[in-house]
Amino acid sequence: MAVEVVYRSSRDLERLFMDKAEADRHDKMLELAELLTEVLQKAVPSLNEAQGEELGIYMAKNRDVFAKAFKNQPDALSELNQPAVE
């Protein structure tokens, strides 16, 4: 019988990871998404909870692209217009 070590995200209990660093990155992304959701909902009160959460997660997953755009590279956002590669 083989023993396998898996890691569980503390913010997403259904998701398992084979690598601790990957689980930590996922937790940090979800933490950022939560904070972004709060800010977006305060900035746009008409945004419902589901929309705010979806936007927060989207921005957190694409944080590197948004960071480039905010650092005087607005063309970086064109990366988000490309079709997703699976």
* pTM for this entry: 0.79
Which CATH number belongs to the domain containing residue 66 in this structure? 1.10.10.710
Compare 86 and 35 and report the one with higher pLDDT: 35
16 in a domain, yes or no? no
64 in a domain, yes or no? yes
* Count of domains observed in the chain: 1
Give the pLDDT score at 2: 87
40 in a domain, yes or no? yes
Cα–Cα dist 58/32, whole Å: 10
Cα–Cα dist 14/79, whole Å: 30
Buried b / exposed e across 14-36, counting CB within 10 Å, b at 16+?
eeebeeeeebeebbebbebbeeb
Local confidence band at 85 (pLDDT 50, 70, 90 cut-offs): low
51 in a domain, yes or no? yes
Average pLDDT over residues 39-67: 95
Domain extent at residue 62: 26-81
Local confidence band at 86 (pLDDT 50, 70, 90 cut-offs): low
35 in a domain, yes or no? yes
Local confidence band at 11 (pLDDT 50, 70, 90 cut-offs): confident
37 in a domain, yes or no? yes
Average pLDDT over residues 61-65: 95
| pLDDT beyond 60 at 22 | yes
52 in a domain, yes or no? yes
